[in-house]
């Protein structure tokens, strides 16, 4: 979870994938501390999500702002391996079709992108699911 805050995303990922190895990175030391308390099964560290190397991750989840999504997609594209996933709560990557789009209770949307062709290649194929 890039920018894990209090750990809500990590907790949701844990419920969905109980066997997964989960990590979070958070710049704010108070939020990092509280997240580590709430998510003792995850490795939570203090750090800058933009300076963290994403190349070892199969999936990066984030809940950012609309204006930072293009930057996040460019980072994922440049660093992540073929077949890896970028998952965003609420905000789409401008101009990129998602692999899937999930509707959650409360009209929240999860945007799911897969980098099937490897770093530095942006896939335009995809389908939306609701």
Cross-strand bridge partners of residue 100: 112
C-alpha span between 62 and 29 (Å, rounded): 18
C-alpha span between 45 and 114 (Å, rounded): 25
What are the domain boundaries of the chain? Answer: 1-52, 55-130
In this structure, what token pair is assigned to residue 111? 């945007």
Q: Domain 55-130 is classified in which CATH homologous superfamily?
A: Vaccinia Virus protein VP39 (3.40.50.150)
Q: What is the pTM of this model?
A: 0.85
| 3-state SS class at 109 | strand
Per-residue pLDDT of the chain (130 residues; tens, 9 = 90+): 999 999 999 999 999 999 999 999 999 999 999 999 999 999 999 999 999 999 999 999 999 999 999 999 999 999 999 999 999 999 999 999 999 999 998 999 999 999 766 544 444 333 322 2
């Amino acid at each position: 979870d890039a920018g894990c805050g209090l750990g809500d995303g990590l907790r949701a990922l844990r419920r969905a994938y109980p066997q997964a190895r989960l990590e979070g990175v958070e710049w704010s030391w108070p939020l990092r501390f509280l997240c580590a308390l709430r998510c003792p099964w995850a490795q939570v560290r203090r750090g800058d999500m933009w300076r963290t190397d994403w190349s070892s991750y199969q999936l990066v989840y984030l809940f950012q702002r609309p204006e930072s999504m293009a930057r996040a997609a460019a980072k994922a594209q440049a660093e992540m391996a073929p077949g890896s996933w970028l998952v965003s709560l609420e905000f789409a990557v401008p101009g990129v079709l998602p692999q899937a789009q999930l509707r959650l209770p409360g009209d929240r949307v999860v945007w799911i992108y897969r980098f099937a062709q490897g770093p530095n290649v942006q896939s335009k194929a995809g389908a939306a699911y609701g």
